[in-house]
Amino acid sequence: MSGTLTLNKITAQRGIPVAEAAKRIADLGWNPSYVQEAMTFPTDYKITKAPKDPMKQVLRSYFPMQEEKDNRVYGALDAALRGDMFRNVEPRWVEWMKLFLAIIPFPEISAARSMAMVGRLAPGEDLRTGFTMQMVDEFRHSTIQMNLKKWYMENYIDPAGFDITEEAFGKCYATTIGRQFGEGFITGDAITSANIYLTVVAETAFTNTLFVAMPSEAARNGDYALPTVFLSVQSDESRHIGNGHSMLMSMLKEPENHLLIERDLRYAFWQNHAIVDAAIGTFIEYGTTNRDKNKESYAEMWHRWIFEDYYRTYMLPLEKYGIKIHHDDVQTAWKRLTEKHYVHRVAQFFAVGWSANFWRIEAQTDKDFEWFEHKYPGWYAQFGEFWKWYEKLSHRGQTNILFNSDVGYVYPHRCWSCLVPCLIREDMVTDEIDGKLYTFAHELDRWTAVEAFAGEYQGRPTPAMGRFSGRREWESCYHNWDLADAIKDLGFVRTDGKTLVAQPHLRFDQKEMWTLDDVRGHVLKSPLITLREMTPDQREAHLADYRKGFTINRCN
């Protein structure tokens, strides 16, 4: 008998090659002649060259592939329960998942919606299948993440916070930055949002820290569910990156697009850095209990994923097409993460505001201090005393850290652009839009809000560009409110009507849990409203003082 004879060879029949299948499917489209499709998604870009589909996958192979991936995910979740995962999971980690998983399903489903926008704008039909698959992928991501959150809620020791998740997402002062991220995918110029901001920058660069780096940290904290779900999610991203790059290449063909591409790459890179690094950096560095000095810090991972992989191999080559790349922005972001302790200031801000959150934040310990100092030299001098205060004030009966003048923390102004506060105090700038004063975390945030999100850019009309709107400064929603009333209004109270959802510790004991009465009597103020109410001299003095920063008092 021939040794090479296999069942496959006996039963194989001539099939249609993948490239040919993709070509025929791309031919499903046509140019309508009876009724034209309405251009309901505005853009200032000109797109004439049909983008190519680099993946050439068709739905016939896509659906079985995704079902198989799902089977692995749900099988792993079942196995995690059988293996009693939650017995050994680190609550410090799972608590931060209340914030992360409140945010992420909305950006995901927004990405699904945005596929309608690029699908309509891209000429030709080559990429239509790619956009279709991405649309269904994002539907997958959104509902698989909601399922994971439900799973945590059903099996983790403290379900409070998970149980109000989508309500909390709409209200919390921390999730506001996630809303800026998600709305950025679907609002304003369709190419700016759905192509450059979403695909070319968020998915190509920052999903590596979101969906690869973070799952690693989850596993170190006994959480095998998050890696299972999110690495499966990440496996879809390579197709999305292909869609984005192909669309970008077709836009590059039009020289008049170059100014807009430069603008949008700049805005998208800076805002992804400001938002994603704030959130994911905090989860990874402050949500972990693992202090192995051999593992990479968030900054080190950022250097690998964003600086080396994305900046050097994706952004830099765009220069040969005539796109101006702002190298200094990448360097500035890197310096913010390392020298200026951006992530640590964000974690500090979240901790100061713990009572108006919907998850627990535990104090950092001696072991944490040592690791931080090792990875971020100078950390202890700036943040050590703060975390000692945080631990001391985590007990009921103490004055809430947000209002405790012994600590020395100065509540920050909110950045009108990225919505993360102006935490690197010396970088804070102000400007006016339509005669109104606003605060910004950095000059690039000011540029984004004032120059990029406008009806004209460098003399060129940009009528499709979006605008920043709404009650963007969260604090102004509760200006002059008592903190307890604000928390009640937010719905961040447990069903007994008095115990706070958030707690500044991981002590699962009713006696230790803060209630509305423990935080009553402190009045919230909007830094922006307060600033606007000052006289020009007062304002100048206040801003100069703000930029000098603050010193945390010694905690004895």
Partner 1 sequence: MNAVQRPAVRSGAAGAAVFPDSDSRRYRYFEPRGKRATHYEDVTVDVQPDPERYLLQDWIISFPNGKGAYTKDNTAALSSNWHAFRAPDQEWERTHYQRQSKIEAMVQSVIANGRKSGATQLFDKAWIKILQNHLGAWKHAEFGLATSLMQAQRYGYTQMINNATLTNSSYKHRLAQDITLYLAEIGMDIPGFDDAAGKRAWLEDRTWQGTREAVESIMGATDYLEQYFAINLVFEPLVGELFRSGFLMQVASSNGDFMTPSVISAAEANYERNLANAIDLFHLLVTDNQHAQHNKGLFQSWLGKHVALARKAAAGLQPIWSQPHSKPVQYADARDQSIERLKKILVELGLAAPKE
Are 516 and 488 in contact by the 8 Å Cβ rule? The answer is yes
Are 384 and 551 in contact by the 8 Å Cβ rule? The answer is no
The set of residues, in sequence order, having a beta carbon less than 8 Å from that of 383 and lying 6+ positions away, is 341, 344, 348, 372, 552
The 280-309 contact track toward partner 1, x by CB under 8 A, reads ------------------------------
Site for partner 1 in 515-554 (CB under 8 A): none
**Exposure letters 204-243 (e unless 16+ CB within 10 A, then b):** bbbbbbbbbbbbbbbebbbbbbbbbbbbbbbebbebbbbb
6: contact with partner 1 by CB under 8 A: no
70: contact with partner 1 by CB under 8 A: yes
CB of 537 to partner 1, least distance (A): 31
Site for partner 1 in 342-361 (CB under 8 A): none
User: Which residue among 50, 58, 259, 437 contacts partner 1 (CB under 8 A)?
Assistant: 58
The 245-284 contact track toward partner 1, x by CB under 8 A, reads ----------------------------------------
Taking the CA atoms of residue 335, residue 339, residue 343 and residue 349 in that order, the dihedral angle to the nearest 10 degrees is -120
Are 128 and 119 in contact by the 8 Å Cβ rule? The answer is yes
Q: Which is nearer to partner 1, 93 or 342 (CB)?
A: 93
**Paired residues of 523 in beta bridges:** 482
């095998």: which residue's tokens? 224
User: Which residue among 2, 8, 40, 313 contacts partner 1 (CB under 8 A)?
Assistant: 40
Q: Which is nearer to partner 1, 59 or 523 (CB)?
A: 59
The length of the chain, given as a count of residues:
556
Residue span binding partner 1 (CB under 8 A) among the ranges 11-19, 258-266, 320-328, 544-552: 11-19
Q: Which is nearer to partner 1, 109 or 330 (CB)?
A: 109
CA 428 to chain centre: 22
Distance CA 273, CA 217 (A): 20
Strands 460-461 and 456-457: antiparallel
CB of 136 to partner 1, least distance (A): 5
Tokens representing 319 are: 């220069």
User: Which residue among 47, 99, 103, 144 contacts partner 1 (CB under 8 A)?
Assistant: 144
CB of 479 to partner 1, least distance (A): 13
Residue span binding partner 1 (CB under 8 A) among the ranges 48-56, 80-88, 341-349, 431-439: 80-88
Residue span binding partner 1 (CB under 8 A) among the ranges 90-98, 273-281, 292-300, 341-349: 90-98
163: contact with partner 1 by CB under 8 A: yes
Tokens representing 344 are: 């640590």
The 476-515 contact track toward partner 1, x by CB under 8 A, reads -x------------xx--xxx--x-x---xxxxxx--x--
The set of residues, in sequence order, having a beta carbon less than 8 Å from that of 444 and lying 6+ positions away, is 266, 270, 329, 332
Distance CA 224, CA 365 (A): 24
Site for partner 1 in 433-472 (CB under 8 A): 455, 463-472
Q: By CB under 8 A, how many residues form the interface with partner 1?
A: 131
Q: Which is nearer to partner 1, 179 or 425 (CB)?
A: 179
Helix (H, G, I), strand (E, B) or coil at 494: coil
43: contact with partner 1 by CB under 8 A: no
3-state secondary structure 377-414: CCHHHHHHHHHHHHHHCCCCCCCCHHHCCCCCCCCCCE
Tokens representing 518 are: 């423990």
Are 486 and 356 in contact by the 8 Å Cβ rule? The answer is yes
Residue span binding partner 1 (CB under 8 A) among the ranges 24-32, 306-314, 344-352, 523-531: 24-32
Site for partner 1 in 186-225 (CB under 8 A): 186-188, 222
For CA atoms 432, 438, 441, 445, give the dihedral sign: negative
Tokens representing 271 are: 């805002």
Among 303, 270, 297, residue whose Cα is nearest residue 284: 297
CB of 8 to partner 1, least distance (A): 12
Q: Which is nearer to partner 1, 370 or 482 (CB)?
A: 370
Helix axes 385-392, 342-352, angle to 10 degrees: 20
CB of 96 to partner 1, least distance (A): 13
**Residue 550 CB neighbour total at 10 angstroms:** 14
Among 123, 115, 120, residue whose Cα is nearest residue 50: 123
94: contact with partner 1 by CB under 8 A: yes
Q: N- to C-terminal Cα distance for the chain?
A: 85
Residue span binding partner 1 (CB under 8 A) among the ranges 12-20, 272-280, 305-313, 422-430: 12-20
115: contact with partner 1 by CB under 8 A: yes
Residue span binding partner 1 (CB under 8 A) among the ranges 386-394, 421-429, 432-440, 531-539: 386-394
377: contact with partner 1 by CB under 8 A: no
Distance CA 393, CA 363 (A): 10
State residue 24 phi and psi, 5-degree precision: -70, -35
3-state secondary structure 212-272: HHHHHHHHHCCCCHHHHHHHHHHHHHHHHHHHHHHHHHHHHCCHHHHHHHHHHHHHHHHHH
150: contact with partner 1 by CB under 8 A: yes
Q: Which is nearer to partner 1, 464 or 543 (CB)?
A: 464
36: contact with partner 1 by CB under 8 A: yes
Q: Which is nearer to partner 1, 312 or 374 (CB)?
A: 374
CB of 170 to partner 1, least distance (A): 3
80: contact with partner 1 by CB under 8 A: no
User: Which residue among 77, 97, 109, 393 contacts partner 1 (CB under 8 A)?
Assistant: 109
47: contact with partner 1 by CB under 8 A: no
